[in-house]
Chain A
């Protein structure tokens, strides 16, 4: 029987993957052909979604973007034998976009049925955990430290050090908590992994549990990701049945179980201490540090908190060794990062590459420039708290330290592209507006400062005392940077100032009339 793959990833569904799967099933029935349809994760070439693949003797052959209307024609052209068609791309793994990546974390995503443990194991799944179960916890921590893995959630803190802190504490109860709040615009890697290879996250968190001495873990998923929640809950059930979660995992003597919790639409709950409050059923107010969550985390107990991508990198680190992982990357940025090409880009999607790749390579070689066909003007990297960088800075290698030197931030690896129609003063205003909407309200520079920020930028745009207000904005940004409790208020000035410094012309345009009227 011929196997056809139609992704179940939310992005693929958003452009009609379910309809395509239904159409393939009914067309096959009509033609009395037997096909097995597997709902896989996404390969990450989101510009080709829904990307339908057919298994052939030569390998998997790709067609996309397929709509339900194309299905009859695909059958007619003989796509079940991998024959050519206007939507055909040949062998999936030969498509340059895919072939030129270095897939470590996403090695299985899009290849397997996300809920099949057999598939998972066939492609190396649970090798890392199997090794970990036979190791001393401190040796697991050492392996992670050796790998050079740094937190993928944004701050880039060395994962091994965090784990060591929790490992070294004696406590009757410890926890593992996964930050799957992924609130940054331009990012979807966590979502893709949770929907396309959920066992990888489960395995990574279980290894963390064994290493840190925790027997319970929580995954905090944002409510905007209902598909992820469903897939994770199912995957956890499957893993429990197969004894990869629960008591005495695979007879090792270790026990670990996982629970999924859904957020409720608050960006700040991605900040780790706000997330902890939310997991405890409270308002997501940011906590003072110290104590750090590794010492007093969830319910006041020592807690390993990591991003989805950080946990998902761990299975391969354990399976192949810290040295293997460390051999990818540059400087102090080791391993790979799942870059996400988003916004006004021709070929948007997920590109997993070792650190060191440049924005230009990502935006031009992979992304193919803008979707609008107009020139690229800027990219915002690292989410809504990340800097807008002009094209002149596109050759800075993706490396935490190099980016910091260039007044920018790698963050969670999201790259949002804008064409030359973008108004950077408007983008700066939005950064302040977003902070005002999403501030937890605990401290004044952020809660009030962001509202003042919007007002001041409105005056600048309206050309009211422009120079004075620009000076005021700069001053306000310093106050927010220095006086905020967390990076929400502390980093909002980053996109604002990068827009002002990198694109000053946009702050000196003639005032649009409606703003003049409004300001009267």
Chain B
């Protein structure tokens, strides 16, 4: 039986977690590259996502240990920001702008086309795992609406036809 500890004297204790899985090891080295500084948590998540495609649940305790923060805090940050993915996503992330300027140029129709042609709702991934489509609000390309972004690449004046071409280009890239 565990030893009983008087409530009042019990300090919140942080469990030290050491890394074992490859994802955890990656997390440890990303944190180290950022000097284990808690204020760099967003940068750490960005970098991990870049390396692993998403932020696996199992990395959260080791990040918490590295940054000397509670697991709840790390989890809270992860879930607050739209960018961070907690589950695997498609090879390419296609962000479609749904904000007002793009609405005025028919982004609703573009979204419907994307959902239909890729056979997945916004936020979902194609069956072959190649493309995830998601909504974003403004890509700063509002004079050339509708706008989409694939990875770091921005596209303007995207109609259904151009959308199909861009997606075809991605699949071709993958085939090569």
Q: Which residues of A contact B (CB under 8 A)?
A: 10-11, 13-15, 46-47, 49, 182-188, 191, 223-227, 261-267, 278-284, 299, 340-345, 348-350, 371, 380, 384, 414, 416-419, 422, 427, 430, 434, 437-438
Contacts A262-B43, A278-B42; A340 near B154 (Cβ below 8 A):
no
Q: List 27 A-B contacts (CB under 8 A).
A: A10-B141, A11-B156, A14-B141, A14-B155, A15-B156, A15-B157, A186-B138, A186-B142, A187-B140, A224-B136, A224-B140, A224-B149, A225-B140, A226-B152, A262-B42, A264-B46, A265-B82, A265-B83, A266-B81, A278-B42, A283-B77, A342-B143, A343-B102, A343-B105, A349-B143, A419-B104, A422-B104
Does B39 touch A at the CB level, under 8 Å? yes
- On whether A188 and B141 interact (CB within 8 A), knowing A264-B42, A264-B82, the answer reads yes
Within 8 A of A (CB), among B147-176: 147, 149, 152-157
A517 to B139, CA, bound (A): 35
Bound-state CA distance A14–B148 (Å) is 9
Complex CA–CA separation, A344 to B136 (angstroms)? 19
Q: At the interface, yes or no: B100 with Cβ under 8 Å from chain A?
A: yes
* Top 8 closest pairs, chain A to chain B, by CB: A348-B143, A185-B99, A264-B81, A342-B142, A281-B41, A14-B156, A265-B82, A343-B104
User: Across the interface, which residues of B come within 8 angstroms of A340, CB to CB?
Assistant: 142-143
Q: Residues of A contacting B144 with CB < 8 Å?
A: 11, 14-15, 46, 49, 348
B80's closest neighbor in chain A, by CB? A283
Which residue of A is nearest B84, CB measured?
A264
CB distance from B165 to the nearest CB of A (A): 12
Min CB distance A257 to B, Å, is 16
Could you tell me how many residues of chain B have their Cβ less than 8 Å away from some Cβ of chain A? 43
Q: Is the CB of A280 within 8 A of B141?
A: no
Report A201 CB to chain B, min CB distance, Å.
Answer: 15
* A416 CA / B149 CA spacing, docked (Å): 20
**Complex: chain A residue closest to B148, CB-CB:** A14
CA distance A15 to B37 in the complex (A): 39
**Residues on the A chain within 8 Å of B99, using CB:** 185-186, 384, 434
On whether A341 and B143 interact (CB within 8 A), knowing A185-B100, A265-B82, the answer reads yes
Known A-B contacts A15-B156, A186-B142; A264 and B104 likewise in contact (beta carbons under 8 Å): no
Assembly CA distance A363 to B149 (angstroms): 27
Closest chain A residue to B74 by CB distance? Answer: A281
Known: A11-B156, A188-B140, A264-B42. A344 touches B105 (CB 8 A): yes
| CB of B86 to closest CB in A, whole Å | 13
CB atoms of B142 and A414 under 8 A apart: yes
Choose among A14, A223, A283, A349 the residue that contacts B147 (Cβ–Cβ < 8 A): A14
Pair B140/A47 contact, Cβ less than 8 Å: no
B76 at interface (Cβ–Cβ under 8 A)? yes
Residue among B38, B137, B142 with most chain A CB within 10 A: B142
CB contacts under 8 Å to A, within B80-109, are 80-84, 95, 99-105
Which A residue's beta carbon lies closest to that of B95? A224
Q: How far is the CA of A225 from the CA of B154 in the complex (A)?
A: 9
Residues of A within 8 A of B16 (CB): none
How distant is the Cα of A279 from the Cα of B42 in the complex, in angstroms? 8
Residues of B within 8 A of A280 (CB): 38-39
The answer for the CA separation of A10 and B156 in the assembled complex, in Å, is 10
Asked if B145 is an interface residue, CB under 8 A from chain A, the answer is yes
Option from B39, B143, B155 in Cβ contact (under 8 Å) with A281: B39
| B57 surroundings in chain A (CB, below 8 A) | none
Contact for B154 among A13, A266, A267, A341, CB less than 8 A: A13
Choice from B37, B41, B46, B138 contacting A183 with Cβ under 8 Å: B138
B138 touches which one: A13, A185, A371, A427 (CB < 8 A)? A185
CA distance A438 to B138 in the complex (A): 13
Quick check: is B40 within 8 A (CB to CB) of the other chain?
yes
Chain B 40-64 against A: per-residue CB contact (8 Å), 1 yes, 0 no? 1111011000000000000000000
CB distance from B53 to the nearest CB of A (A): 16
Known: A224-B138, A343-B105. A427 touches B100 (CB 8 A): yes
Cβ < 8 Å to A, chain B residues 12-47: 37-43, 45-46
Alpha-carbon distance A274/B83, docked complex (angstroms): 16
> Could you tell me the distance in whole angstroms from the C-beta of B164 to the nearest C-beta in chain A?
17
- Besides A182-B140, A284-B81, A416-B100, 7 more A-B contacts (Cβ < 8 Å) are A185-B138, A188-B143, A226-B152, A264-B84, A265-B136, A343-B142, A416-B104
* Bound-state Cα–Cα, A419 to B39, Å: 45
A371, B103: Cβ atoms closer than 8 Å: no
